[in-house]
Amino acid sequence: MYSSRTAHAARAAVLATTLAAVVATLSACGGGSDEAVPSAAVNWDAAEPCTLADDETLAPLITTDSSEGITADREDRRACIWGMAETLNTVTISTTGAPQPGKPLRTLDVGGLESRVLAESKYQCILEVTTAAGTLSIETKFGLDAITTPDRSCDRSVGLAEHAVNQLHWA
């Protein structure tokens, strides 16, 4: 009878240990909570630049139809271009592993991240955001639209940059 009680106690201890492990596992997984788990940041080399813009974010920057971007990847950079080169009105979004060297002309806030303005005139902007996951670069050429739109060029690109940073889960 003593051995039967010992076996029963041992089984109860195993059951209690197993139940505790299940509870701990469910707690670690969120236990079925409705809270959304934040997505991990997309590394620059896994990013799809042609998915980082939409018609709404391109509209203030391109005067022509902007519905489809053209992939322009290189070994060290993933890129997509919208607009028409003939009219000097294009937007290029690219991702790379490291920022361009050089001192910025100024900095801008992009979704809570400090971004560097590398080139700026009423005709062109190069805006760069760097995180641990990579560097996002947005180059905008405004063409003749720059004559009629007095905004500073890189200020016009912030909305697109914020949208792209959110898509990459970098903010």
The predicted model gives 97-120 an average pLDDT of 94
Write out pLDDT tens, residues 116-168: 999 998 889 999 999 999 999 999 998 877 777 767 789 989 999 999 999 99
Q: What is the pLDDT of residue 115?
A: 96
pLDDT digits (tens, 9 = 90+) for 15-74: 333 333 333 333 344 444 343 334 788 999 999 999 999 989 998 888 776 668 999 988
Query: Can you give the pLDDT at residue 27?
Result: 39
User: What's the confidence (pLDDT) of residue 33?
Assistant: 38
Residue 18 has a pLDDT of 35
Q: Please give, one letter per residue, the 3-state secondary structure of the chain.
A: CHHHHHHHHHHHHHHHHHHHHHHHHHHHCCCCCCCCCCCCCCCHHHCCHHHCCCHHHHCCCCCCCCCCCEECCECCEEEEEEEEHHHCEEEEEEEECCCCCCCCCEEEEECCEEEEEEEECCCEEEEEEEECCEEEEEEEEECCHHHHCCCCHHHHHHHHHHHHHHHCCCC
pLDDT higher than threshold 60 for residue 9 = no
